[in-house]
Amino acid sequence: AERYLPVADAVGILLLGAWILRLIRDRSRRSIRVPAGWAIGLFLLSASLSLLNTSDLVASTQFVLRPLFFFLVVFVILPVNEIKSTTHLVQLMKEMAIIGIGFIAMGMVSLLVMHQPESIPRVVPLPIFGHYFLGGNHNEFAEVLIGFLPIFWFFSGVTKIAHHRQAWGIVLVSGVGIALLTLSRAAWIAVAVQGGIMGVLYYRRAIIRNIQRAWPVFFLALIPLGWLMLNLLTSRVGYLANANRLFLVQIALDVFEQHPWIGAGAGTFLSWVAADRYYLMDFGTALDAHGILWKLLPEMGLLGVISFFGMSAAFFWIAWKQIKTARRTTEGRLLFTLFLSALGVWVFELFGTSYYI
């Protein structure tokens, strides 16, 4: 199989190397903060225990090291220890927002230049110099964009200059529109969850006050999007996608039945799919599980599912306590933005296909 190094991983390796060198140089810095360390430990333990049942020890061990261990170290533990001020964090978010605007522009261009299957227009990633750096399909594109939406909202609220606020508002609306126009069902659900929580916590009174005037506009805006989604679901593309998803769920349940407690080995689900000749006859190429639950159940069993959702709950609880303490301050809005961004991606992962990678 062809191997490649994702851009995010390459950057993560460089940052991790620099961090380790700094720790070695500065020997006085001995303490490393590990948020919900017990939960991280249990999750990695459950992944390690699954190796007892794996049919490919080398591949499963590699999977435990990357993405699981690598992700938690580089994208959880390292930022917690290295981002030391609100100013630093806001600057990083500005840089992320610029990247997010690039995603929006790419999505708009893709509607104009990309050939759409079955004449159903949808946003898809574009190749850059012949390579799909942002993923090869609409789901991968949508998942990344979901994480940017709360950041646009943050700057639309904290920027003091009126026309800057309006500009960020336009960016936010455009981002939501592009995310919905991927016609990714997971993206629609994630946007709904993000918008619902934001509405309840920040705009409840305004919504109640203006609901009679706003709901007709809201539903009118959903009509063309609903028409596109309905056409997709009833098309051959939609039928095959649903059939594929159901087949993968059945394979996941079959493997889980054989190894219910600690699973059949981390990173092995794709090999089980590749070994199913009926799946290959119907769909041609083996695909990984659609959704985190159907990835964890066959690979890491009940222990993996419980430890993953326990770890996720621990992370969100830590963040929520900080948000409640800061209340409606700028810092509180900042923390809520990060919370909502992570939650949106997490919700997407319940139905999506990249599984904490």
Written in H, E and C, the secondary structure of 120-150 is: CCCCCCCCECCECCCCCCHHHHHHHHHHHHH
Q: How confident is the model at residue 230 (pLDDT cuts 50, 70, 90)?
A: confident
Give the C-alpha separation, 111 to 117, whole Å: 12
Q: How confident is the model at residue 125 (pLDDT cuts 50, 70, 90)?
A: confident
The answer, as to whether pTM is greater than 0.75, is yes
**pLDDT score at 1:** 46
**pLDDT score at 29:** 60
Q: How confident is the model at residue 190 (pLDDT cuts 50, 70, 90)?
A: very high
Mean pLDDT of 137-151: 91
pLDDT tens digits along 39-77: 999 999 999 999 999 999 999 999 999 889 999 999 899
Q: Is the pLDDT score of 8 beyond 80?
A: no
Reduced to 3 states (helix: H, G, I; strand: E, B; else coil), residue 242 is helix
**pLDDT score at 238:** 76
**pLDDT score at 168:** 96
**pLDDT score at 28:** 58
Cβ pair 232, 120 in contact under 8 A: yes
Q: How confident is the model at residue 356 (pLDDT cuts 50, 70, 90)?
A: very low
Better-scored residue on pLDDT, 128 or 313: 313
User: CA 3, 107, 4 angle in degrees (round to 5)?
Assistant: 5
Give the C-alpha separation, 235 to 243, whole Å: 12
Reduced to 3 states (helix: H, G, I; strand: E, B; else coil), residue 111 is helix
